[in-house]
């Protein structure tokens, strides 16, 4: 008997994590941090506007999560600019 598509485990997270790792490898960790934190910040801001007040993330409060993601984005930006200046200078 064949299982229906709804009951079959979809390991999509492995595809996502591999893609993230490839981005980090190809473009460098600071740029990858900026990309992922920027996407996460955008997603949590949209979720907050739609009414999300508690997340499954370890930090739970979306405002804390957005602060964390914003901080990660700023650090990624600082280190990306620092790397570019180091190459040029």
As a 3-state breakdown, the chain gives helix, strand, coil percent values, each rounded to 5, of 75, 0, 25
Q: For the segment 26-58, what is each residue's pLDDT rounded down to a tens digit? A: 778 888 889 889 999 999 999 999 999 999 888
Could you tell me if 47 and 63 are in contact, meaning their C-beta atoms sit under 8 angstroms apart? no
Residue 27: the pLDDT is: 77
Could you tell me if 44 and 65 are in contact, meaning their C-beta atoms sit under 8 angstroms apart? yes
Instruction: Tell me which residue of 44, 27, 42, 43 sits closest to 79, measured CA to CA.
Output: 27
Handedness of CA 40, 38, 34, 27 (dihedral sign): positive
């Amino acid at each position: 008997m064949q299982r229906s598509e709804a009951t079959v485990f979809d390991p999509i997270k492995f595809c996502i994590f591999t893609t993230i790792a490839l981005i980090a490898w190809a473009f460098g960790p600071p740029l990858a941090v900026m990309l992922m934190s920027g996407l996460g910040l955008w997603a949590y801001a949209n979720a907050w506007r739609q009414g999300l007040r508690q997340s499954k993330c370890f930090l739970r409060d979306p405002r804390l999560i957005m602060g964390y993601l914003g901080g990660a984005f700023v650090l990624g930006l600082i280190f990306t600019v620092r790397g570019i200046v180091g190459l040029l200078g």
